[in-house]
């Protein structure tokens, strides 16, 4: 009898540390107000209602500037408070921001060191004065991701971490992990989601938000 109880305790310890991912078929005790509309009906459905408030989400990108920011444009447009861009790989393009109707304040923070970047991100979350955060932090360890997720959930802030595509996905405490790339169309693969199992790729019409000159070889942010 002691062995099964020990196994249960070991399993609970793994869950509490975030080392074991739990797939759920439906949101538990969640309402529509707990989610932010992603702007994409199919993505909303696969994520259980949209982007969960108080969540850190990873976008794994095979080729930078292929449409990953256009994917976030609908939620960017909803923000009433400043948006923080942490370590963006290129300067924000002011005419592009204006074209995309992003009239709210854009704050850019540059921290080349990962730990300093995480610290800066936490300060923004704790301030509670930002709408959302987009961060390029490619070397986040599992403990750092869990630390950020706990902070984001505590302060009910929305965070997106941009990272390179990985051939093998190691466990991380992200609420959602998406892989995005472009072939004939912009594609999304759900690697991890809070309310269900991973899903095969599906197309997303992000080009609807891009000016014609950028639909083939986008080169600037926003």
Which CATH superfamily includes the segment(s) 2-214? P-loop containing nucleotide triphosphate hydrolases (3.40.50.300)
Q: Sign of dihedral through CA atoms 188, 189, 192, 196? A: positive
The strand pair at 55-61 and 83-86 is best described as: unpaired
Say if pTM beats, i.e. exceeds, 0.75.
Answer: yes
Mean pLDDT by 10-residue block, N- to C-terminus, for the chain (222 residues)? 62 59 53 91 95 97 92 94 94 85 86 91 93 92 96 96 86 95 93 90 90 55 47
pLDDT, residue 14, reads 64
Q: Please tell me the predicted confidence (pLDDT) of residue 11.
A: 65
Given this model, what pLDDT does residue 154 score?
A: 96
3-state secondary structure 29-59: CCCHHHEECCCCHHHHHHCCCCEECCEEEEE
- How far apart (Å, rounded) are the C-alpha atoms in residues 16 and 77? 35
- Amino acid 22: pLDDT: 54
- 7: exposed, middle or buried (Cβ count in 10 Å: 0-12, 13-18, 19+): exposed
Helix, coil or strand: residue 106: strand
Query: Taking the domains of the chain in order of start, what are their residue ranges?
Result: 2-214
Q: What pLDDT, on the 0 to 100 scale, is given for residue 193?
A: 94
* pLDDT score recorded for residue 6: 64
Answer whether 190's CB lies under 8 Å from 178's CB: yes
């Amino acid at each position: 009898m002691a062995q099964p109880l020990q196994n249960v305790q070991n399993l609970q310890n793994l869950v509490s540390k975030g080392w074991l991912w739990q797939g759920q078929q439906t949101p538990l005790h969640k309402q529509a107000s707990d989610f932010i509309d992603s702007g994409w009906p199919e993505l909303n459905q696969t994520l259980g209602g949209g982007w969960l408030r108080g969540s850190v989400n990873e976008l794994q990108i095979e080729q930078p500037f292929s449409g990953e920011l256009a994917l976030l444009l609908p939620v960017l447009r909803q923000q009433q408070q400043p948006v923080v861009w942490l370590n963006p790989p290129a300067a924000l393009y002011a005419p592009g921001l204006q074209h995309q109707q992003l009239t709210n304040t854009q704050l850019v923070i540059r921290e080349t060191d990962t730990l300093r970047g995480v610290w800066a991100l936490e300060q923004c979350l704790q301030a509670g004065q930002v709408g959302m955060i987009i961060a390029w932090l490619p070397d986040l360890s599992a403990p750092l991701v869990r630390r950020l997720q706990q902070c984001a959930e505590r302060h009910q802030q929305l965070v997106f971490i941009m990272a390179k595509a990985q051939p093998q996905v190691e466990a991380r405490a992200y609420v959602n992990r998406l892989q995005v790339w472009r072939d004939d169309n912009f594609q999304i693969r759900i690697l991890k989601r809070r309310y269900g199992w991973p899903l095969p790729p599906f197309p997303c019409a992000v080009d609807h938000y891009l000016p014609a000159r950028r639909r083939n070889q986008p080169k600037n942010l926003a």
